[in-house]
Structures are given as C-alpha cells and as structure tokens.
A and B are shown apart, each in its own frame.
Chain A
Amino acid sequence: MNAQNDSDNSDRDLLDELKRSQGGSSRAHDSAVLAKAAAAAEDIAGRNASKSSTAPARGFAWLLPAAAALAAVLLVPLFIVDDNDTLRNPAAAVTPAQAETLASAPVLLRWPAVPGADRYVVILRDAGATEVWRSAAVTDPELSPDASALDILEAGGTFIWTVEATTPGATTELGPFQFTVTE
C-alpha cells in the first residue's frame, strides 16, 4: 500500500492533468437516461398498483373488506385527496403532466391538495437531481414560477420537481414529478 501511495504521490502531476481533462457527462446524456428512468418508474409503480389490486382475486377475496378498511386508515397519507375529495394517484393530477414535454417554460405548477396542508414548498431539480430552485411557501396547491425559476426553466432540459406539503402534524413529500422543456 505504501508503495502504491509513493507512486501516486510522484505521479500526482500526471493524475491532476488527467483529471483536468475530464468533463463528466453531458446534459443530453443525462436527460436521455432520466427520461428512460421516469418511464420505467411509472411502469413499476403501475405494476405494483395492479398487483395490489388483483391480489385478492387470487383466492384471498375474503381479505378485500379488511384490506380496504386498513388502507383507508393507514394509506391515505400515501395518496392525495383533491379538492373534490377524490382519491387519486398524485402523478395523475399534476400540471405539467408527468413526463410531459413542453415547448416553453411552464407558467403554472399545480399539484393535488393534501388534506390539512397549510403550506407547500416546491423544489425544482435539474436532470442530475441537483436542486436548482426552491419556492417560497405558498398556501394553495399551485404556483407560478417566479423570474429566477423561469430563467432556469427557459434554458431548457429535463426537470424533476417535488412538493413539501406541511400539515400541523407532519410534512409529506409529493412527487417526484418530471417534465422537459425543449427550448
């Protein structure tokens, strides 16, 4: 190990020069991979939802009433109740729509209301999952990106966004949601 360290020290200039020539991955590369991941994530989530909905039909139909009651009590926080108190999958009720491609920066971000939430904060990340913008807290489940967010969005690319919904007792994260701006 010492010999290796000695060698590394004497070759530090070469190592530094090699590192200087590195540039990491490009935005196009990142966007392509993350778009595929987003599509696969939806498939996986859909498959899981489908499995859980068909499971009682495989000889466990007697569990259905009990499971439904349990879900109503325990799983409600994992779903989102919209203004009409309809249980929905969060990905199905957002603007821009999940994985949507937009020709220009979105002027409105909207997400399903969380019962009891009195504060929402939107966090925007770039394709590499680095946080690039965070909103001020809002009380309604929607906001218009401010000028600093629009500057970022107008540059184009794939964006991932989440919403922190705060109720008096807890904070729930909605998302991640994704959209692409082609500018």
Chain B
Amino acid sequence: MQSFQETGDLAAFSELFARRKDGFVDFLTGLAGNRAIAEDVSQQVWTKLIDLGKRGAYRRTAKFQTFLFTLGRNLYIDEYHRKHAAARTDALGDRELSDTSGSANPGLVAVTDERSEILESAMAALPVEQREVLAMWSTGTPIDSMAEITGVPRDTVLSRKKYAIKKMRAALAAAGIEQGTL
C-alpha cells in the first residue's frame, strides 16, 4: 500500500488486494448477514484506501488486516447497523436482506442448502457484538487482533465468542442439529 501511495505501483496494490479481499468480504458477510451489503462495505473501504493513497494520506498504525477489518467494521456499524437498527427488529430482517436477487453474485448468496440457512439464521440472531467476533473467528483472525478491532479487552472478546458459540449451539440444537453432526 505504501508503494502504491508513493509510486502508483498497481501490481503491489493488486497483490495486497488479492491476499486480503476474500477474508475481508467473508468477515463482513458474517457481520452483516448479507453478502450484498458486505461487498458494498468492502468496496467502500477499498475505495477509501485507494483515495487515501492517491492523496498521499495513507497511514496505518496496526497490521494491515487489523486496519482493514477496523475500517470495515466501523463503516458497517455507521452506515448500516445503526441506521437500520430500528427497522431491523429481529433476525428476519437480516434474512429478508439475504434474498438478494439483484446481488452481484447471486450464486454465492442464494441459500439453497438447508443447513446453511439454519446456520445463517442462527448467526443473524446473535447480537452484533457476538456476531462480529464469530465472523472474525471464522476468518482466522487472532484474538488479540479482534480485541484491537472491536476496541474491547481480550477477555471480553473471549467471553463474546463463548456466548456466541453457546447461542449458536442452542439454535442449531433447536433445529435438530447437535454438536458433532455439523
């Protein structure tokens, strides 16, 4: 990113983008419960980074992935979660949003697998603080990075993860899926 900012090195940017884009969208999809929103947020974040580089204003104070996830999380919470919290009363709201027939990538979004649908519903029913931890866990983000991204102590992250998994297990059990049968 530094090289892109200093010399317009497109190859360096492309390599960085290729390395980080999928995990970032997967994290945002887990957080938002919706791939179209995730891709929109992701595009906005990458555009912001490009714009910062263009203006020579790109500075990062953490590991790139931590920096990227922090920007994405904050943007999602500001742009979507807070604004739509009133309208989105429960998990159904997220599931309705998941019916993205106009999505850029309908093949990935369409829920055709019942297990996936159950998993998505269980995930969507979690409070956003637990959902984001679970989304980061599923992309292999270290606990310390999760703490940095969410701005809470490490123990709080671990606690949120523990409760998120517990609630997921309960929701899956209610749907007839027990631990070890996933």
| A21, closest chain B residue (CB) | B116
Cβ-based interface call for A76 (8 A)? no
Q: A26-B105, A129-B15, A178-B10 are in contact. Are A16 and B182 (CB under 8 A)?
A: yes
For the complex of A and B, list the 9 residue pairs with the smallest distance between their C-beta atoms, beginning with the closest. Answer: A24-B22, A44-B8, A26-B105, A129-B14, A23-B108, A45-B8, A18-B138, A41-B8, A28-B104
Contact A129 B138 (CB under 8 A): no
Q: Quick one: which of B17, B104, B169, B179 contacts A26, CB cutoff 8 A?
A: B104
Contact B22 A25 (CB under 8 A): yes
Which residue among B9, B17, B169 has the maximum number of chain A CB atoms within 10 Å of its CB?
B17
Which residue among A25, A27, A48 has the maximum number of chain B CB atoms within 10 Å of its CB?
A25
Q: Quick one: which of B22, B47, B158, B168 contacts A14, CB cutoff 8 A?
A: B168
Q: A25-B21, A25-B42, A26-B104 are in contact. Are A37 and B11 (CB under 8 A)?
A: no
A8-30 CB contacts (< 8 Å) to partner B: 11, 13-30
Contact A176 B42 (CB under 8 A): no
Residues of A within 8 A of B24 (CB): 25
Total interface residues in chain A, CB < 8 Å: 43
Residues of B within 8 A of A86 (CB): none
Contact B10 A26 (CB under 8 A): no
Q: A15-B137, A21-B116, A42-B8 are in contact. Are A29 and B43 (CB under 8 A)?
A: yes
Residues of A within 8 A of B29 (CB): 22-23
Residues of B within 8 A of A33 (CB): 17, 21, 42-43, 46-47, 50
Q: From residue A144, how far is it (CB to closest CB) to chain B in Å? A: 24
Contact B165 A11 (CB under 8 A): yes
Once the chains are docked, how many angstroms separate the CA of A48 from the CA of B54? 11
Cβ-based interface call for A172 (8 A)? no
Residues of A within 8 A of B162 (CB): 7
Cβ-based interface call for B25 (8 A)? yes
Chain B 86-110 interface mask (CB, 8 Å, partner A; 1/0): 0000000000000000001100100
Question: Can you identify 7 A-B contacts, CB atoms within 8 angstroms?
Answer: A13-B180, A21-B119, A24-B21, A24-B22, A25-B24, A29-B43, A129-B11
Q: Quick one: which of A20, A21, A40, A162 contacts B8, CB cutoff 8 A?
A: A40
Once the chains are docked, how many angstroms separate the CA of A20 from the CA of B182? 11
Cβ-based interface call for B67 (8 A)? no
